[in-house]
Amino acid sequence: MTASTTETDRVALAFSGGLDTTVCVPLLEEEYGYDEVIGVTVDVGQPDVEFAEARETADALDVQHHVVDAREEFAALCLRSVQANATYQGYPLGTALARPIIAAAIRDVAAAEDCVALAHGCTGKGNDQLRFEAVWRDTGFGVVAPVRERGLTREWENEFAAERGLPVEGGVEGRYSVDANLWSRSIEGSELEDPGTVPADDIYEWTANPGCEPELIELRFVEGRPVALDGEQHDPVTLVEILNERAGAHGVGRTDMMEDRMLGLKVRENYEHPGATVLLTAHEALEQLVLTHEERAFKSQVDQQWAHKAYQGLVDAPFVDALEAFLATTQERVTGTVTVKLEGGGCRPVARESAYAVYSERAASFDEADVGSDITQADATGVAKYHGFQSRLANRAIERGDAGGDPG
């Protein structure tokens, strides 16, 4: 490899202790000429074992290592995503939501440590490179991406790590690329890249194969934010952790999909997201009770746009601020309780209550003769006569035309 002509100084590296970021350390020192690599691991709810691995790897590489606790900030963003019912092509946005939080934390460490550049171990094929750099660009720091810039493969990285005796971790038995945070866990790579491969059960850690007795969970929301579980209040981090455990025991929250990435590639992804699934399901059920038909119809478009920008890692874009202004108005009435049933790998709402319900039991009941508010069933006769009137006229005109007549 040919050495680059970047400045010789400190660089802050997004550091997980996995294969990509471990290999990046000697490359940044030897091929890019940086005096010192500072590893930064950002806590967004990963398992404790990952921090232990990152620390051990950093020690073995003689790298200064920072761990930044961003769990509360990340959990707050996850709950913002609940208000927007945010999913991308059917799954909750865990990795996508975490990346801007992680990128901002690394930027702040870099500033405090007088770094001149920021580095990541993302490939040139994925989404994370774009999410990191959306935060890092225009900050005054240089941006370095050794894996992308040198076209490295995991095979090359494994060989390089073996030659150098580098300590590496790569997921289950080293076969997969695994990313976990408070909101979701993703598993990709190796034989999973073949869409025809049925995944082995050992790829899952958060979700068990369904088999538990059904369980009811009651969630209370205040202005679209979950605040209590079965009558007990919890902070956002704890609430999601509890739901991950309880819903995961029922196999809730598995996704196996073909995902369309930002660069146009279609990839096979596996996800686990039990807590997120429960919260999104319950929140949408409450919205169905308290929002009008027009609000729900338009909000579905806003939700989709919010999720799309979040997938891109652009949650701080002015467009998102505008979307959230609408969301904030709708969420003022999304207060109440929802009971969901966890059963056989599924989560479904089975009860909901709210003081803001746009619902009249008397009006909807088949056992009541009158609708209420001076409206009777008979009043619907006129509506029924006009309903579809224009379509019926159009069909008659078409029939006359088909018969060779003059529609006029």
**pLDDT tens, 329-380?**
999 999 999 999 999 999 999 999 999 999 887 776 666 666 666 778 888 8
Sign of the dihedral through C-alpha 117, 118, 123, 128 = negative
Ranking 25-29, 58-62, 106-110, 403-407 by mean pLDDT, the lowest is 403-407
Q: Of the candidates 160, 168, 170, 155, which has an alpha carbon nearest to the alpha carbon of residue 27?
A: 160
- Encoded tokens for 350: 């089975």
How many Cβ atoms sit within 10 Å of the Cβ of residue 109? 18
Tell how far CA 40 is from the center of its chain.
Answer: 22
Four-point Cα dihedral 152, 154, 158, 161, nearest 10 = 40
What integer pLDDT is reported at residue 5 of this predicted model? Answer: 44
238 vs 90: CA distance, rounded Å: 25
Enzyme catalytic residues: 20, 99, 128, 177
Q: Mean pLDDT across the chain, nearest whole number?
A: 92
Q: How large a percentage of the chain has pLDDT more than 70?
A: 93
Strands of 120-243 (E only): list them: 142-144, 177-180, 185-188, 215-222, 225-229, 232-233
Residue 87: is it exposed, middle or buried by C-beta count within 10 angstroms (0-12/13-18/19+)? buried
Position 8 confidence tier, pLDDT thresholds 50, 70, 90? low
| pTM of the model as a whole | 0.91
